[in-house]
């Protein structure tokens, strides 16, 4: 089925998207095709999902990876790279999740502005969301936005720390696990040989 040209309703999008071979995100009536990710993006997302799965064993929460839809509002459905939900309604759903406590996005050059801007703004509307994590595999930057007691998200920059601390799920993941299999970015050339 071809990509719709007119703005769509949420239900029309879900009906259409469930018939597509690829993944598409939905924001304010518009459809955005998901493109393939770089190898390092996949490695980091899988590392974080695996680490969370192990740390959530025996708890009433589950980690999911990028092939699962999260409905953020009546006009937004995204595929987070990794998310955790502890809500019984989400743990029974097959297709669309609505109550994540933690969302992790692995940044890429093509999605970084959207992940930091409009997508984060949409995610903040989820009353269940406690933490939003942005991971840059190229710089090894890790930003954790944590909802405070006033309901506002505060930045906890964990770049350069030894452990990724996730209060929403009471988990601590060594950064060596987060970035396992990702080569360090080459150092800037201090000076060219003459």
In the chain, the domains with their CATH numbers are 37-178 (3.90.1570.10)
For the stretch 102-141, pLDDT in tens is: 999 999 888 888 889 989 999 999 999 999 999 999 999 9
Tokens 């930091």 locate to 116
Cross-strand partners of 92? none
pLDDT of residue 1: 38
Convert 114-125 to b/e letters by CB count within 10 Å (16 or more is b): bbbeebbebbbe
pLDDT in tens, 60-93: 999 999 889 999 988 889 999 999 999 999 999 8
Flag whether pLDDT at 193 surpasses 70.
Answer: no
Residue 186 has pLDDT above 70, yes or no: no
Rounded average pLDDT over 35-49: 87
Q: Is the pLDDT of residue 187 over 80?
A: no
Q: For residue 46, give every residue at least 6 positions away whose Cβ sits within 8 Å of its Cβ, in sequence order, or none.
A: 65
């Amino acid at each position: 089925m071809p990509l719709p040209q007119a703005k769509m309703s949420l239900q029309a999008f879900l009906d259409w998207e469930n018939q597509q071979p690829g993944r598409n995100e939905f924001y304010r009536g518009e459809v955005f095709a998901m493109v393939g990710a770089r190898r390092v993006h996949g490695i980091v997302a899988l590392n974080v999902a695996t680490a969370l799965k192990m740390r959530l064993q025996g708890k009433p929460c589950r980690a999911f990876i990028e092939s699962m839809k999260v409905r953020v509002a009546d006009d937004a459905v995204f595929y987070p790279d990794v998310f955790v939900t502890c809500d019984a309604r989400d743990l029974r759903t097959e297709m669309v999740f609505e109550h994540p406590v933690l969302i992790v996005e692995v940044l890429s050059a093509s999605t970084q502005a959207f992940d930091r801007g409009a997508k984060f703004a949409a995610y903040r509307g989820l009353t269940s969301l406690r933490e939003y994590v942005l991971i840059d595999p190229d710089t090894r930057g890790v930003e954790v936005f944590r909802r405070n007691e006033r309901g506002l998200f505060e930045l906890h920059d964990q770049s350069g720390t030894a452990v990724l601390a996730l209060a929403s799920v009471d988990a601590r993941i060594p950064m060596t696990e987060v970035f396992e299999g990702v080569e360090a970015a080459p150092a800037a050339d201090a000076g060219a040989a003459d």
